[in-house]
Amino acid sequence: MRAARLIFPVVLLSAASGSAAASPPPNPPPVTYPTAGSWSGFGWNNTTICGGNAFSTCASVAVSAISDGAGNVTVTMRVTNLSGTNGTYAGTVFTQLGLWNVPYANGVNGFSTGYGPTLTATDPNGAITGWQTGTSGLSGAGAQPDLRGVDAINGINGGLTAGNTYTFTFTITNWQGTTADFNNLGFAIHGQGGPNGCSTKLVIGANGTANQPDPNDPAYQACQTVVPEPVTMSLLATGLAGMGGAGLLRRRRKQPEA
């Protein structure tokens, strides 16, 4: 009798079956942009706002925005420098203007808010030059991060002076917020050339309230210290010298003759 043979089934394993298949990367969260349409916020458009951290200045601001529904928001800012009104210093020049608390989603789908390619600046007579997109000088004094705005290329020499109105239009790209978020934005103004050469930052919240000078703020205190001009010091020294000479002459006249 022949011995039974054992038959072992041969199973061919593919290379892929030897280890777990790599799982596909998770889908990134979708970016939901606000629907196309026009917005306006702040609730204080075209009203006079006065305040600042180092000293008070005044301005009138109107802001509107139009979303294209694809993450691009065109912002229009109309700003009038009202320095000199309500007892404020008339020589203050606005050199930076912009929005703060702009929705910023760093890392979401690799997007973050930025600027469009162009900036349009006008006054009542037409186009003006000397301004660029940027936020230099707007931080601090209560302004929150994530600012978007404009600044004067030549600083105080090219800024918005008292009595003038400039309108700026630019695009914020990859907007991560909603229409409601737009109504929570703040506005900031950097004013230079103030008393004693000081600068101030007028920071306006979404509710229309502005920051006010704090007597305990070193920036405020520095603006209250009046430093005499060199000509004034020279006149003062000349006057003191003259008074000293007059006193010496009087003393000599009072001396008895020998």
Q: Could you tell me if 189 and 79 are in contact, meaning their C-beta atoms sit under 8 angstroms apart?
A: yes
Query: Residue 109's CB: how many other CB atoms inside 10 A?
Result: 12
**pLDDT given for residue 10 in this prediction:** 45
* Spans of the chain, pLDDT less than 70: 1-32, 41-45, 105-111, 225-258
CB neighbours of 8 closer than 8 A, spacing ≥ 6? Answer: none
User: Dihedrals φ, ψ of 123, to 5°?
Assistant: -125, 180
Residues 107-136 have pLDDT tens digits of 555 668 889 999 999 999 999 999 999 887
pTM for the whole thing?
0.74
In order of their start, the domains of the chain are 37-219 (2.60.40)
